[in-house]
Structure 1
Amino acid sequence: MFSPPRPHRDDILISVIGLLGGVVLWLLGLNMQTGRLLDAPWIALVPLVVMSVLELLRRSAPQTALVIGTLALLVDQFTVGNLATVLMFTDVMYAAVLYGTPAAARRIPVTTFLITVAVTIGFLGWFRSAEALLIGIVTGLVSFVPALTGVSVRNHRDAAETARLRADQTALLAEMDRAQAVTAERARMARELHDMVANHLSAIAIHSTAALSIDDPATSRNALGVIRENSVDGLAEMRRLIGLLRAGGADREPSTSPTLGSLDALIGQHRTNAASSGLTCTLVDSRAEPGPLPAPVELAAYRIVQESLTNALKHAAPGPVEVGLGQAEGRLTVQVTSVLGDRPGPRAPGSGAGLVGMQERVALLGGEIEAGPVANGNGTKIWRVRAELPVGEGRVKA
């Protein structure tokens, strides 16, 4: 079964105070008018009780309370009257605008204004006296002024609610931005950690396996030398990464970030690491003006070459590993090719994170990358990584 909502605590208080105040005025004989159709004093208590009951509905059913309250007020005009009844009606009128529907909040002030004007004009025509203006003023005070007050309070309440919602949305967007920034920073650190360490650890894994599997002092000595060199270089790279984390430079790379000018040293290190695997690495820089490029572009290109050489060390068959650089129409082209096929000897496992990291780097710069097997001119297949990076600063994404 349907049960009406319980009245608000404040509505109960208003109802009780209005009823008790009206009863006190009735007991004191303080009536508003005399010589009415229903002249018995007790009849004035009926509209008073009805209006006090309607105060309990001022929030839950404001428009219903207003309609019944208007009828009760009209009945009160035929009795000796009670000031408390009129005051409670003004509160019912105010509540109908404040708690009613948006359509009612728009219609009620207009309707009460027209009623006030009509009552004023009607009584002026009837009485033909300036005293009729007092009736119009009282009508406006009882109906139009409470409705206008309700509109003002409702507008302020809606504005405050809108401001609160906007503040909540702003806080939510700020939290989303913070979470995205944290995620992006973690991804950047993951790429840096993988690209810096994977190359050295792959060489260590391959040469340590060779030292354990081949019972030859010279081979073990060479393998240990490579392991030591890669351990020292990996430690230095880790220290650089730790320095980056402590600096908190989320939007800039430290001044010691590798550039394309460091590729010669990287390829030389790769030759040393891959000598036992039958890989030979060469660099072909076909750029007309091999000058400095934006720091994010140079770092991304270096990391792409570094990761590609690491993958070649893990998976490529014996043969040439070629690194090519080119620049035309505002784009830097980086290409690394290696022989596709099986090779003897120890190999390091791969996780696929390196390719994902290269794709992320290129995407952040608004470039393009492709990696996969392609046919070579002599009928064999090679593994090729080709990336195109825009060299304009304005193309770098935040």
Structure 2
Amino acid sequence: MFTSPRPHRHDVLIAVTGLAGGLTLWAAGPHTQGGRVLGGHGAALVPLAVTAALELLRRTRPRTALALGTLALIADRFTTGSLATVLMYTDLMYAAVVYGSPAAARRIPVTAFLVTVAVTIGLLAWFRRPEALLLGVVTGLVSFAPALTGVSVRNHREAAEAAGLRADRTGLLAETDRARAVAAERSRMARELHDVVANHLSAIAIHSTAALSIDDPATSRDALGVIRRNSVDGLAEMRRLIGLLRESGAAGPPSAVPALSSLDSLVEQAGANSASSGLTVTLEDRREGAAPLPVPVELAAYRIVQEALTNALKHAAPGPVTVRLEHAREVLTVEVSSVLGDRPALRAPGSGAGLVGMRERVALLRGTVEAGPEPRGDGAENWTVRAELPVGEGM
């Protein structure tokens, strides 16, 4: 069973006020015209009551209210007339534009304008007097003016709704960007933690296993020395990283960020850690002048070398481990190669997160990274990690 929606309380207030005002004017005696065709002075109450009742539909059935209101206004012209009826009709015209469909909002003002022009021309042709223009103006004030006002109000309302939607969309995009930024920051922190901890813990794991497995005081003493050195260095690295994470609002990159200038120390430390495994680590810096590079590039290159040396310590067969740096054509090439093959030395298990971190770092700089076996001249194979990092303006 269909039930019509209840009238809005404002519509009820308008209807009651309009009816009360019309009854007051009727009781006081003033009316809008002298001649009348239908009934006596009380006939004007019928269009008044109908128009007041239609005010209850101004928001829920605007087109129906306007159509019936037009008929009531025409009927009012055949009575002594009531100003309240005319005023309530202008409100029905306004409401039909504001609350009606978009098509009705476009058509009603045009129709009202054409009716105003037609009435003005018709009255001029009928009366042939300039005073007929005043009736045309009144017709425009009753029909076209409220319709035009309704168009303006509707446009402002739609603009406000569009602005609200844009604000909601902007808020959603901002929240999405914030979530992406948080995810990116978590990934960066994960890479930093892995790169900082993995190198030292791998050395500690390997040498502690050797100290427990080999019953030799000298070997155990050397292993414990390596373990202590890596424990102290790892703790210092962790404290440095925690300090960086606590910093906020610092201008420029922190000075404690690892750079290629300290790569020789990293290589020296890796050589000391892997000496018992039969690995010899060397650095070949083929850069001309070794000028400072952008901080993100230097940090990525340092971490790539660090991770590659950690993997060599865990997996490489005895032999040379070579770190090469080359800067040509606005590209920094970082290469770490080690002997591929099984070795009897004990290894620490790896999870593969280091290679993932390498690829993420290189991808952020729009570079490339490759890792895999390469043939050597003596028939053996090397495991080579090679990264190319752009260092130009467009990086």
TMscore range, shorter length: over 0.9
Equivalence for 1:57: 57
Equivalence for 1:149: 149
Secondary structure, counterpart of 2:210 in structure 1? helix
Secondary structure, counterpart of 1:283 in structure 2? strand
Equivalences for residues 65-80 of structure 1 within 5 A: 65-80=65-80
CA distance in structure 1 between the partners assigned to 2:207 and 2:17 by the alignment: 93
Displacement of 1:95 after TM fit? 0.7
Is this contact kept in 2: 1:207–1:227, CA < 8 A? Answer: yes
CA distance in structure 2 between the partners assigned to 1:317 and 1:167 by the alignment: 60
Equivalence for 1:280: 280
Equivalences for residues 1-398 of structure 1 within 5 A: 1-248=1-248, 252-392=252-392, 394-396=393-395
Displacement of 1:249 after TM fit? 5.8
The alignment of Structure 1 onto Structure 2 pairs a total of residues equal to 395
Superposed CA RMSD: 2.0
Displacement of 1:337 after TM fit? 1.4
CA distance in structure 2 between the partners assigned to 1:85 and 1:351 by the alignment: 85
Task: Check 1:108–1:341 CA distance in 2 against 1; reply closer, same or farther (3 A cut).
Answer: same
Which amino acid in structure 2 is aligned with residue 19 of structure 1? L
Displacement of 1:64 after TM fit? 2.2
Task: Check 1:379–1:41 CA distance in 2 against 1; reply closer, same or farther (3 A cut).
Answer: farther
Secondary structure, counterpart of 1:395 in structure 2? coil
Once the two structures are overlaid, the 10-residue window that deviates more, 124-133 or 298-307, is 124-133
CA distance in structure 1 between the partners assigned to 2:61 and 2:380 by the alignment: 85
Once the two structures are overlaid, the 10-residue window that deviates more, 3-12 or 251-260, is 251-260
Displacement of 1:146 after TM fit? 0.7
Is this contact kept in 2: 1:185–1:250, CA < 8 A? Answer: no
CA distance in structure 2 between the partners assigned to 1:311 and 1:53 by the alignment: 86
Secondary structure, counterpart of 1:358 in structure 2? helix
Secondary structure, counterpart of 1:56 in structure 2? helix
Displacement of 1:306 after TM fit? 0.4
CA distance in structure 2 between the partners assigned to 1:252 and 1:350 by the alignment: 35
CA distance in structure 1 between the partners assigned to 2:357 and 2:302 by the alignment: 13
Is this contact kept in 2: 1:39–1:80, CA < 8 A? Answer: no
Displacement of 1:148 after TM fit? 1.4
Displacement of 1:196 after TM fit? 1.4
Task: Check 1:377–1:6 CA distance in 2 against 1; reply closer, same or farther (3 A cut).
Answer: farther
Displacement of 1:150 after TM fit? 1.0
Secondary structure, counterpart of 2:326 in structure 1? strand
CA distance in structure 2 between the partners assigned to 1:110 and 1:212 by the alignment: 96
Displacement of 1:85 after TM fit? 1.5
Is this contact kept in 2: 1:366–1:395, CA < 8 A? Answer: no
Q: Per-residue displacement from partner, 1:149-189 (whole Å, max 9, x unpaired)?
A: 11221222222223222333333333333332222222222
Displacement of 1:276 after TM fit? 1.8
Q: Per-residue displacement from partner, 1:18-65 (whole Å, max 9, x unpaired)?
A: 223323333444433343221234433332232222212212221222
What is the TM-score with the length of structure 2 in the denominator? 0.93
Which amino acid in structure 2 is aligned with residue 97 of structure 1? V
Displacement of 1:292 after TM fit? 2.1
Displacement of 1:252 after TM fit? 4.8
Secondary structure, counterpart of 1:2 in structure 2? coil
Give the % identical residues.
72
Displacement of 1:374 after TM fit? 3.5
Is this contact kept in 2: 1:211–1:220, CA < 8 A? Answer: yes
Secondary structure, counterpart of 1:215 in structure 2? coil
CA distance in structure 2 between the partners assigned to 1:96 and 1:167 by the alignment: 29
Which amino acid in structure 2 is aligned with residue 79 of structure 1? T
Once the two structures are overlaid, the 10-residue window that deviates more, 169-178 or 70-79, is 169-178
Task: Check 1:250–1:385 CA distance in 2 against 1; reply closer, same or farther (3 A cut).
Answer: farther
CA distance in structure 2 between the partners assigned to 1:109 and 1:383 by the alignment: 80
Once the two structures are overlaid, the 10-residue window that deviates more, 238-247 or 287-296, is 287-296
Secondary structure, counterpart of 2:383 in structure 1? strand
Long gaps (5+) in structure 1: none
Long gaps (5+) in structure 2: none
Task: Check 1:162–1:182 CA distance in 2 against 1; reply closer, same or farther (3 A cut).
Answer: same
Task: Check 1:317–1:3 CA distance in 2 against 1; reply closer, same or farther (3 A cut).
Answer: farther
Which amino acid in structure 1 is aligned with residue 231 of structure 2? S
Secondary structure, counterpart of 1:130 in structure 2? coil
Which amino acid in structure 1 is aligned with residue 182 of structure 2? V
Displacement of 1:125 after TM fit? 1.9
Once the two structures are overlaid, the 10-residue window that deviates more, 228-237 or 286-295, is 286-295
Displacement of 1:250 after TM fit? 8.1
CA distance in structure 1 between the partners assigned to 2:249 and 2:136 by the alignment: 73
CA distance in structure 2 between the partners assigned to 1:341 and 1:251 by the alignment: 47
Displacement of 1:191 after TM fit? 1.5
Is this contact kept in 2: 1:277–1:345, CA < 8 A? Answer: yes
Task: Check 1:251–1:177 CA distance in 2 against 1; reply closer, same or farther (3 A cut).
Answer: farther
Once the two structures are overlaid, the 10-residue window that deviates more, 199-208 or 310-319, is 310-319
